[in-house]
Amino acid sequence: DAKTTQPTSMDCAEGRAANLPCNHSTISGNEYVYWYRQIHSQGPQYIIHGLKNNETNEMASLIITEDRKSSTLILPHATLRDTAVYYCIVRVATGTASKLTFGTGTRLQVTL
Amino acid sequence: KAGVTQTPRYLIKTRGQQVTLSCSPISGHRSVSWYQQTPGQGLQFLFEYFSETQRNKGNFPGRFSGRQFSNSRSEMNVSTLELGDSALYLCASSLGTEHQETQYFGPGTRLLVL
């Protein structure tokens, strides 16, 4: 699976949009971008994933650049409960390769 | 639909003992994966089971083993516990079919080895 690079930490004011970047310059054509978050020692929570088109769900939006070498997770109106470590993962979603390779993630701190 | 459940949630053992952790996947999910999370190594993949067969394996010693039952519930076992096995053990389930591999995690079992 391709390696990802994320900033170690970010701050965001409550009510503002949180934009979390991720670089995955070695991504292959058959690899998806997945985002998970982990709130203080709970199990990671699935947020969103995409291949090449932008995606939106009730939690967040995922913007993938045209060359697919980077992406941005957007939390449109961050709340204190969004404080967590956010993991960007790229993985093959075909065949039986189910392993998720987690990096160190971005620690997002939402403040009043 | 109920999420992934793991039991027990907390466990204290001593070195040399063995431990068994249990995971019940989301109804209809046939794949169960196990991960270990420690402050030093982060989240690391242990193994994955699908239809009672180990389908994928991480780089852990043979002391770590698992199995899956016909109802997709899974157990993992760690024998001859070491202090370094203290960790949060996470289980994740997915449908297990191609293009449907989004994994959903349970709350984890926190193991402390003394």
pLDDT mean over B59-67: 96
pLDDT at B102: 87
Average pLDDT for B83-111? 90
Residues of A in contact with B56 (CB under 8 A): 96-99
Mind spelling out the 3-state secondary structure of A44-59?
CEEEEEECCCCEECCC
Show residues of chain B in contact with A94, CB under 8 Å.
Answer: 98-99
How high is the pLDDT of residue A100?
Answer: 85
- What pLDDT digit, counting tens, does each position of A72-84 carry? 999 999 999 999 9
Does B107 contact A at CB distance below 8 Å? yes
> What DSSP letter does each residue of A39-100 carry, written as one string?
-TTS--EEEEEESSS-EE-SS-EEEE-TTSSEEEEEETT--GGG-EEEEEEEEE-STT----
The answer on pLDDT for B100 being more than 60 is no
pLDDT one-digit tens code per residue, A12-28 = 999 999 999 999 999 98
B92 touches chain A (CB under 8 A): yes
Q: Is the pLDDT reported for residue B44 higher than 90?
A: yes
Q: What is the pLDDT of residue B111?
A: 98
User: What is the per-residue pLDDT for B93?
Assistant: 94
pLDDT of residue B55: 87
What does the mean pLDDT of chain B come to? 94
For residue B102, the chain A residue with the least C-alpha distance is A46
pLDDT at residue A17 in the model: 97
Interface test with chain A among B49, B74, B105, B111, by most A beta carbons within 10 Å: B105
The tens digit of pLDDT for each residue in B78-93 reads 999 999 999 999 999 9
Please, are residues B1 and B24 in contact by the beta-carbon 8 Å criterion?
Answer: no
Size of interface A-B (CB pairs under 8 A): 65
Chain A residues within 8 A of B98 when measuring between CB atoms: 93-96
In whole angstroms, give the CA distance from residue B23 to residue A78.
32
Shortest CA gap A97–chain B (Å): 7
Q: What is the mean pLDDT of residues B61-78?
A: 97
Which residues of B fall within a CB distance of 8 Å from A47? Answer: none
Do the chains contact at B42 and A99, CB–CB below 8 Å? Answer: no
How buried is B71 (Cβ within 10 angstroms: 0-12 exposed, 13-18 middle, 19+ buried)? exposed
DSSP label of A16: S
pLDDT at A98 over 70: no
